Structure 1
Amino acid sequence: MNTNPIIALDFRNMEEVLTFLKPFDEQLFVKIGMELYLQNGPTIVKEVRDLGHDIFLDLKLHDIPNTVGQAMKGLAGLDIQMINVHAAGGSKMMTAALDGLKAGGSQAQLIAVTQLTSTSEEMMNEEQGIPGSINDSIVNYARVTRDAGLAGVVCSANESALIREALGEDFLKVTPGIRTLADAKGDQVRIATPEFARQNGSTHIVVGRSITQDSDPVAKYHSIKKAWEQGC
């Protein structure tokens, strides 16, 4: 399993992606999200995969079980290593998603979003109408995800330790919102450094603007990778 930092390719088109990837002379683990995928289609996945990079297809599917299952069956034809849904869709939806992937012959790891890292506890309480702490909500979503047979969840590093305690080391904890101390927060609320994520039990980290908007992305990637691997 590739545990290198996952680089979020938050670009608009293939030209921008290729320009960014060209200086790297190594296999990367990259994230293709909705912006890039919806504007470029499956071709973007094939092109990046042909360069030898592993792919986390971050589409966060959330619909009725049959729709998500059929969508996953179609996406299973893509050579991807990880893909996700929203845990809020429920256990039947997640099971249908997993069944769809398997029916399509994919070995991709399926994970579920618990609460977006842009969501605060206040937003969860007032706008989603979910009472209590955000930690309780995330651990509950993680349990439902595990029971549905998925490989892990997307969560912030702040909850990784709680999920590790509840569900063990092997359950994936994929952590976006990673920043170094010198980086701007952007629109993320629950952020963390690579070191904190490692110490708190994250199994993967996702890093976007901290790398893609740096003046030397290759050097910044290796700096973050070193911090992630050392965890100190």
Structure 2
Amino acid sequence: MTTGSVLVERQGGVAVVTLNLPGRRNALTLALKTELRDALAEVADDGGVRAVVLAAEGPAFSVGQDLAEHAEGLRGGGDAAFSTVREHYSPIVRSLLTMPKPVVAAVAGTCVGAGLGLALACDFRVFAAGVKLATAFSGIGLTFDSGLSFTLPRAIGDARTRELMLFPRVFTAEEAIGWGIAGETVDAGSVLDHARSIAEGLAAGPTLAFAETKRLLLASSGVDLDAALEAEAVGQVRCGSTRDHAGAVTAFLARERPVFTGE
């Protein structure tokens, strides 16, 4: 599917969703945000897609909100400028975090502001070596959007998150991984291929179990021990009733490699 600002390519069980405004460094325009929101909803509901790659064309993954459009919205009043948080950013991040299949971010270039929010809402990240990242919000007098108040403290802890918001410096992918942001670095030219390879491996795995794992992790924040244990019990029953589980147990006992079909 080609919609202009966002491209969607399906190959086997993997869908690659690509931000496609390289001339604007994938600034998050209204068109791009709308198309991305709708594309992610579509691949989330597609039973033939078992893993997703979120990628970007050009030298930047995303420089965040298109500030020219934002300035125009400010001239139209606050509602015009900030309705996009509920209409676009929140649904996009919710889709990435709750999608019942793994999502791998292929971050081959600069990734700041809401672009960082998109990357952190994915389950795993492949970074170009030395790629530059930043929160950027306080530099223009704003606070978080794109789920960063939820994802960033979970990834790097509260203290480091506060530091990056109060003193919004540029940092590298290597620093971010050292702080606890899951991922790995590769040469810039290999980012998409490597991310696709990871997604292909995940697509061949127990995707229903992956979906349940994402659900449990998302629900774990703020619940007590009993609630967490009960959620695990429910999740095990759901996974235990699948053909993937029964087939994998049979394969294990026969000393064979399991084949997962997502059923």
**TM-score, length-scaled by structure 2:** 0.31
Q: Which has the larger radius of gyration?
A: 2
**TM-score, length-scaled by structure 1:** 0.34
Give the helix-richer structure, 1 or 2. Answer: 2
